[in-house]
């Protein structure tokens, strides 16, 4: 089958599986891999050591499939409507991509099915490898080269007509499909994403410092969230969509794929309710979603920071109860949250609760947070 015919066949089958965009790129070393190396050298990856460990493999897709000749890149949109929070009390914010079923499973299952279908249509076995996010592949570069979208100033991929609320998947094949035309950047002079970033993580056009990114801080980082960045996190407890919310290309984005439809109540969950999740309920809450990326202590840490930012007296009792959590990571952020509420509501019980806990706490990090609060309140 000629490369043009193969590309047409793959496109038809991929669209039939529900993918909304598809593109093709030849397998070769990525020229822009050098930019990735510079990004790593600047330390912008933070504690994501795996990005540096497999940096060499990311230069050439053949590190994943030696006989690969084509990278097929597909996209699904998750641009579903933003709901109004339900019920009283403060609510958290979960990034749109994590509100529905785990996209890793959804996309990989369909890529695997696509490979099986192609093998049957060609009448012979083909070597293939399906990749979704976790494989050492520069997937945004693959999407750009495949004409699926262009690289935006916030480092995301924008697919004109779909926007940037998209999730990518790749299928490496040992057959040659006609390549798509490479996408043309279209951000122009717009800098809306740079200006809106709450923590200044987009340090320059096309350069993201993950160490300041709220998605990194609430998902990838397993340690304390820097104190100076906590107020900027607001109510966000898993990821951040701010740079996408202001992007002009998302203003008229069509409805997202039903394959990634959000679960009821998942977009803006009640913070106090999440703070009370035990181990079993936490496992059920994150099961079969992208939120399984984080541990329970990370989620409670994030919820505590959000309550410190948007909570009122109604959050004091649940936060005091959370001071009994075994993880010092959680307790230290709960102390910070109670301190923030005490500043906003000086007549509340938050300050006395912190004084009482000071006599019982043994962990140095939590004690440091407690002492910092008392010093600041005495000034």
SS3 58: helix
| Secondary structure letter of residue 76 according to DSSP | E
Let me know: does 335 contact 366? Beta carbons within 8 Å: yes
Strand partners, 170: 73, 131
Q: Buried b vs exposed e over 87-119: b needs ≥16 C-beta within 10 Å? A: eebbbbbbbbbbbbebbbebbbebbeebbebbb
The alpha carbon of 369 is separated from its chain's Cα centroid by a whole number of angstroms, namely 28
d(CA 266, CA 287): 13
Q: Given 3-state DSSP classes, what are the helix, strand and coil percentages for the chain, each rounded to the nearest 5?
A: 45, 10, 40
The token pair that represents 160 in the structure block: 């004109």
Tell me if 225 sits within 8 A of 330, measured CB to CB. Answer: no
Q: How many CB atoms lie within 10 A of CB 146?
A: 27
Are 83 and 268 in contact by the 8 Å Cβ rule? The answer is yes
Q: Indicate if 371 belongs to the active site.
A: no
Q: Nearest to residue 11, comparing CAs of 215, 188, 132, 180?
A: 180
Q: Which of 49, 54, 102, 133 is catalytic?
A: 133
Alpha carbon 314 to chain centroid distance? Answer: 30
Burial class (CB in 10 A: 0-12, 13-18, 19+), 76: buried
Structural contact between residues 141 and 59, judged by C-beta atoms closer than 8 angstroms: no
DSSP letters of 312-329? -GGGHHHHHHHTT-S-HH
Q: Which residues are catalytic?
A: 133
């Amino acid at each position: 089958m000629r490369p043009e015919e193969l590309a047409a066949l793959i496109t038809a089958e991929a669209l039939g599986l529900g993918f909304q965009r598809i593109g093709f790129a030849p397998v070769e070393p990525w020229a822009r891999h050098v930019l990735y190396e510079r990004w790593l050298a600047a330390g912008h990856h933070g504690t994501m050591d795996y990005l540096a460990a497999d940096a060499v493999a990311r230069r050439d897709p053949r590190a994943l499939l030696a006989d690969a000749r084509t990278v097929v890149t597909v996209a699904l949109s998750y641009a579903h409507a933003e709901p109004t929070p339900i019920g009283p009390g403060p609510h958290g914010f979960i990034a749109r991509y994590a509100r529905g079923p785990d996209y890793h499973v959804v996309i990989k299952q369909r890529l695997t099915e696509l490979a099986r279908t192609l093998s049957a249509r060609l009448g012979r076995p083909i070597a293939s490898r399906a990749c979704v996010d976790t494989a050492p592949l520069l997937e945004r570069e693959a999407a750009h080269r495949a004409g699926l979208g262009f690289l935006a100033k916030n480092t995301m991929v924008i697919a004109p007509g779909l926007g940037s609320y998209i999730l990518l998947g790749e299928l490496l094949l040992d057959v040659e499909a006609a390549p798509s035309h490479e996408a043309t950047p279209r951000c122009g002079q717009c800098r809306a994403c740079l200006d809106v970033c709450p923590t200044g993580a987009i340090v320059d056009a096309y350069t993201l410092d993950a160490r300041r990114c709220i998605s990194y801080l609430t998902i990838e980082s397993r340690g304390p969230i820097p104190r100076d960045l906590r107020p900027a996190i607001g109510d966000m407890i898993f990821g951040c969509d701010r740079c996408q919310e202001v992007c002009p290309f998302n203003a008229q984005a069509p409805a997202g794929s039903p394959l990634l439809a959000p679960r009821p109540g998942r977009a803006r969950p009640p913070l106090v309710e999440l703070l009370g999740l035990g181990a079993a309920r936490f496992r059920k809450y994150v099961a079969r979603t992208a939120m399984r990326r984080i541990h329970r202590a990370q989620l409670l840490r994030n919820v505590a920071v959000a309550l410190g930012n948007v909570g009122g007296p109604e959050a004091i009792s649940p936060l005091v109860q959370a001071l009994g959590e075994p993880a010092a990571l959680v307790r230290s952020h709960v102390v910070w949250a109670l301190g923030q509420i005490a500043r906003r509501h000086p007549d509340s019980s938050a300050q006395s609760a912190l004084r009482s806990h000071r006599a019982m706490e043994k962990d140095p990090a939590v004690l440091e947070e407690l002492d910092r609060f008392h010093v600041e309140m005495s000034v």
